Amino acid sequence: MSVLEPTAQEPMPVPEPPRRTVGPRAWARENLFSGPANTAVSIVFGLLLAWVAYRVGRFVLVDARWEIIERNLENLLVFRYPRDELWRLWGALFVLAAGFGLAAGIGSRGAAHATALTALRRAAPMLVLVGVLLAFAGSLQATLLVAGVTATAVLARLAGTRLALRGRIAPVIGLASLLAAYLLVAHFGGVGWRDWGGFHLTIFLAVGGIVLSFPLGVLLALGRRSRLPAVRWVCIAYIELIRGVPLITILFMGAFMLGFFLPEGVDTPSAVTRALVAITIFTSAYVAEIVRGGLQSVPRGQVEAAQALGLSTLKTTRLIVLPQALRAVIPATVGQFISLFKDTSLVFIVGLTELLGVAEAITKQPDFLAQGLLVETLLFAAFVYWAGSYWMSRESQRLEQRLGVGER
């Protein structure tokens, strides 16, 4: 032991492995043409890819008639929201940029400092999406406003890293900005969600669904792990029942049955409300399973230590178990949010006009009727969904790595 001690204290400098400097030719030989079979595969795939790229590129750049998107961009994004009140949506974007920028800044304290290049790469899908939208909009005003929103987000993030705010305030700021944005858009002379549509409705259903189902999911998860058999079995029954059926059946239930369940004299709520209720019922079961995973990941010793300190069951859960569990489930919750973001397209089937619904509806305008423009509109919708969920899935992977390595 004593012989080894000096080396243990002063570790030998480990020589760096030799840097592999590979020229393009050597790289190609290794990765593409390492043998006859590999060469053949490379040639076949190369031709195939070139053909696909040519066809797609030709369609997107030459053949496609993007006029339908240009003229309907506002419809696709906000549908029937009154054009006089659009400033509310821009205002909401500013509020959200400030709130989430601040929250992200607070949350990212202690993380490795990001260079401008990595920041750009991280935001790439979003930048592409915004760029495409602005190209379709072709308006200076929109470009300036987007620049303003971006600047607000960046400044708020910088402020978040500098200001002496406590870490646990970040989710509060995020939620508060959501609430403020909602109030600005829907109240004080705005338009309620009954008349929302387009991408605006897509985002509202996804965000509203996850925000409403999260507390319900936490309660269900706690109930599923309860020591009281009656509570446990009711929660298990609810979770497994909901997870066993497709979302569309629950949307049907909302659309056709919700009115039946209400007492006499209560008006049947609007289609958007019914869809939101159905989405919340559905998502809460999945959130419950995610949170259960988080609860199981909290070491037993934590609970035992809390009990040793004399904390009550309620306090143990609230102060010791939940904070650790909820921290661990953030990435999985983002994953659930992504799948909800995609699943909101199903409300199209029960007659709501969210992004997919508008993409379908605008091909029936008199100017564009029966011209086969569905390919263009559906591709546009697919691109918007793709950019959003690709960006979020990469962010959640990053978050997962950071939380996994972080101070635990």
Partner 1 sequence: MSASTAAATRRPPPWRDVRVLRVALQALFLLAVVSLVLFLLDNLVFNLRRLGIETGFGFLDQPAGFAIPDSDFRSSQSVRAAIFQGARTTLVVALAGIALATVLGIVVGVARLSPNWLVRRTAALYVESFRNVPVLLIIIFLYLAVFLRLPPIGRAVEWVDVFVLSNRGLVVPSLAGTGSTGPFLAVVVVGLAAAVATWIWRTRRFDATGQPHHRVLWALGVVVAIVAVGFLATGRPYGLSLPERGDLGVAHGFRLGPEYAALLFGLVLYTASHIAEIVRGSILAVSRGQGEAADALGLSPFQRLRLVVLPQAFRIMIPPLANQYLNLTKNSSLGIAISVYEVTKVTRVSIAQGSPAPQAIAILMLVYLVISLSIAFVTNLVNRRLALP
Residue ranges that bind partner 1, judged by CB under 8 A: 31-32, 34, 38, 41-42, 45-46, 48-49, 227-231, 234, 241, 243-249, 252-253, 256-257, 259-264, 338, 342-343, 345-346, 348-349, 356, 360, 372, 374-375, 378-379, 381-382, 385-386, 389-390, 393
Least distance in angstroms from the C-beta of 180 to partner 1: 29
Q: Which of 132, 110, 130, 107 is nearest to 120 (CA)?
A: 130
Distances (CA, A) of 208 to 99, 303, 407: 17, 33, 31
Which DSSP state fits 111? S
- Kindly state the smallest distance separating residue 261's Cβ from partner 1, in Å: 5
Phi and psi torsions of 13, nearest 5°: -65, 120
Q: State the nearest-atom distance from the C-beta of 256 to partner 1, in Å.
A: 4
Minimum separation from the CB atom of position 29 to partner 1 (A):
11
Closest approach, Cβ 94 to partner 1, in A, equals 27
| Closer by beta carbon to partner 1, 30 or else 74 | 30
If the CB atoms of residues 207 and 338 are measured against partner 1, the closer one turns out to be 338
Q: What is the CA radius of gyration of the chain?
A: 26
Closer residue to partner 1, CB minimum distance, 46 or 82? 46
**Inter-residue contact 214 to 330 (CB < 8 Å):** no
Q: Which is nearer to partner 1, 195 or 360 (CB)?
A: 360
A 10 A CB-CB count for 261 gives 8
**Based on CB atoms, which residue is closest to partner 1, 102 or 255?**
255
Residue 18 CA to residue 20 CA, distance in Å, equals: 6
Instruction: Quote the least distance from Cβ 212 to partner 1, whole Å.
Output: 18
The span from the CA of 384 to the CA of 345, in Å, is 12
By beta-carbon proximity to partner 1, the closer residue of 123 and 378 is 378
Minimum Å distance from CB 335 to partner 1? Answer: 12
The residue (of 44 and 119) whose beta carbon lies closer to partner 1 is 44
> Whole-number minimum distance, CB 264 to partner 1, in Å?
7
Query: Which of 122, 342 has the CB closer to partner 1?
Result: 342
Of the two residues 169 and 216, which places its CB atom closer to partner 1 in the complex? Answer: 216
Taken as a whole, the chain contains a residue count of: 408
C-alpha to C-alpha distances, 168 to 107, 173, 302, 337, 363, nearest whole angstrom: 9, 10, 20, 21, 48
CA distance 63 to 95: 40
Contacts of 249 (CB under 8 A, 6+ apart): none
Q: How far is the CB of 65 from partner 1 (least distance, A)?
A: 14
Q: What minimum distance in Å lies between the beta carbon of 56 and partner 1?
A: 11
Distance (Å, rounded) from C-alpha 234 to C-alpha 128? 46
| DSSP calls for 113-175 | PPPHHHHHHHTHHHHHHHHHHHHHH--HHHHHHHHHHHHHHHHHHHHHHHS---TTHHHHHHH
Tell me which residue has tokens 């202690």: 110
Beta bridge partners of 163: none
Which CB sits closer to partner 1, 101 or 208? 208
Beta carbon nearer to partner 1, 49 or 144: 49
Q: Kindly state the smallest distance separating residue 10's Cβ from partner 1, in Å.
A: 32
- Convert 374-383 to b/e letters by CB count within 10 Å (16 or more is b): eebbebbbee
Would you tell me the crossing angle of helices 86-107 and 169-186 to the nearest 10 degrees? 180
Two tokens, residue 75: 């419809």
